[in-house]
Structure formats: structure tokens, C-alpha cells
Structure 1
Amino acid sequence: MPATSQDLLTGGDLPDGFSYPPEFVRLVEYGLTDLEPWWIMTGDLLRERHTGLAERRPGRSLVPFAERQDNDDVACCDLATGTIAVVHDYGDPKARDVARFADFPAWLHQAMVDFLEFN
């Protein structure tokens, strides 16, 4: 069964005042969650990654939404900056972000480039 927006973090799981970008919700509602090498996370996997990121990166307010299948990179909404941060989840928490995008559409554009180039 395809994922829906009901499979995303809700209520008490989300920081106060946060809402997913509408473009992201639309992507999920259309079932476009496998953008190899990126996977849009939903359900238990999303909840576990969100909890784990909070433990591994204290002091950062990140809401993960996608993971890369060929490494430990995770794309997140960075609430402190209002941007999209790609972090190497199990790397040094003090290391620079792998990438940063102005907004979700900018990240999605790069994810589509990755999709076209992925072998």
C-alpha cells in the first residue's frame, strides 16, 4: 500500500509550529517515495530515524524526511535555519552538513539529478 501523509510524523512527534512543506506532502500523496538512491521515509522507519537523530545530534532541531540508500546521508528540515540539511547521520555530529538547500523544491531537484545518475 502506498504511503500517505498519515504515515508521516504528526502531533507530539513534531516540533511546535512545524509543518511539512506542501510540495513534500504532495510528493508523498502521489506515492513518489522511491527516488533511488533517495527514499522518502514513512512510518516506523521515519519515527526511529527522527528519535535517533535527536539523540545523535543534540542541540539541532532536525526533521528527517529522506535517506540515501548507498550511505548514511539523511535529508532533513532544519528548523533553526529554515533550510534543508543533508547530514551524514552516523558521522561526527560536529562535522559540516553534507549539503544544504534553500528549500524542499531545491532538494527535490538535486534528488532527481541523483536519480538520473544513480547506477
Structure 2
Amino acid sequence: MSIITFEHSFFTYPQQIKSLISEGLVDFGAWYLMNDEQTSRRFEGLQTRYPDRRLYPFAKRDDNDDIACFDGSDNTTVHVIHDFANSGWEQKEIFPNIDAWLEYAEECNLQNESS
């Protein structure tokens, strides 16, 4: 079983993310919370691909290369990054908080169902 804790030395993830895990809410259809190994691996890759940013990933979209991250020391605002895009073209969406991102994740599911 994959471990999801979001207890990493490189960033302090918000309690709301940890609460989702404790409630068993880790799969949101098109989006899912990454396990600790995936999070660490993506963190390292994002730092290499986007060296001018400090992106701290927590969720991945299953059907493309989108990653939900926090940027810098801000653990409130959620940035959706299209990973592997050229630097400067990676920013896809910005949400003011986790709740707004969760609404977006639900909208993604509805769009997938209608197509």
C-alpha cells in the first residue's frame, strides 16, 4: 500500500490536505493525492524543470500531466501546473484555496463524464 502523509522536510503542507487523508479522501476521479514517494519525486523534478519557482506538489491529474502544487512559502493558494511544459508556459490555473481547487477537480470529473 502506498503511504500518503505529506510529512516532508521540504515543505509544511496545510492541515486541510492532511485532513483529507485522514478522512480517506484521496481519489477525486480525474485527480488524486500523490503518495509520499510520488510527491518527493515530483518535487525534485519540478525544481529541475522550473528552477525559478519552488513548487510543492500534492495532487496529480490522471489523464494528463497537470499537477496541483503550492508555490513558494504560500500553503494556501493552489497552482495547477502543466508539468513538462516549457518554463514560463507551465502555469495553467490558480485557486485561492484547497476548497476552490476541490470544486475544480469536481468540474473536471463532470467534463470527463460529458465527453
TM class by smaller structure: 0.7 to 0.9
Is 2:63 the counterpart of 1:70?
yes
Separation in structure 2 between the aligned mates of residue 105 and residue 78 of structure 1, nearest angstrom: 17
The share of aligned pairs that are identical, in percent, is: 33
Secondary structure, aligned partner of 1:118: helix
Match in the other structure for 1:56: 49
Secondary structure, aligned partner of 2:91: coil
Asked if the contact 1:36–1:118 (Cα under 8 Å) also holds between the matched residues in 2, the reply is: no
Q: Unpaired runs of 5+ in structure 2? A: none
Asked if the contact 1:23–1:105 (Cα under 8 Å) also holds between the matched residues in 2, the reply is: no
Q: Unpaired runs of 5+ in structure 1? A: none
Whichever residue aligns with residue 59 of structure 1, its letter is: D
Higher strand share: 2
Change (3 A) 1:3 1:33: farther
Give 2:19's match in structure 1, choosing from 16, 26, 32: 26
Secondary structure, aligned partner of 2:86: coil
Match in the other structure for 2:106: 112
